[in-house]
Chains A and B, each alone.
Chain A
Amino acid sequence: GAGVSQTPSNKVTEKGKYVELRCDPISGHTALYWYRQSLGQGPEFLIYFQGTGAADDSGLPNDRFFAVRPEGSVSTLKIQRTERGDSAVYLCASSLSARPGELFFGEGSRLTVL
Chain B
Amino acid sequence: DQQVKQNSPSLSVQEGRISILNCDYTNSMFDYFLWYKKYPAEGPTFLISISSIKDKNEDGRFTVFLNKSAKHLSLHIVPSQPGDSAVYFCAALPQGGSEKLVFGKGTKLTVNP
Contact = CB atoms under 8 A, between A and B. Distances in A.
A99 B93 CA distance: 11
Interface string A37-77: 00011111100100000011011000000000000000000
A97 B101 CA distance: 13
B103 A43 contact: yes
Given A40-B105, A42-B105, A101-B34, A56 B46 contact: no
Interface residues of B, number: 24
A24 B76 CA distance: 34
B49 A43 contact: no
Contacts, number: 62
Contacts of A21: none
A35 B36 CA distance: 14
Contact of B42 (A58, A99, A107): A107
Contact of A101 (B45, B93, B104): B93
Contacts of A45: 100-102
Listed from nearest, the 8 A-B pairs whose CB atoms lie closest are: A105-B43, A42-B103, A101-B93, A101-B34, A45-B100, A48-B99, A102-B46, A100-B32
Interface of A: 4, 31, 33, 35, 40-45, 48, 55-56, 58-59, 91, 93, 97, 99-108
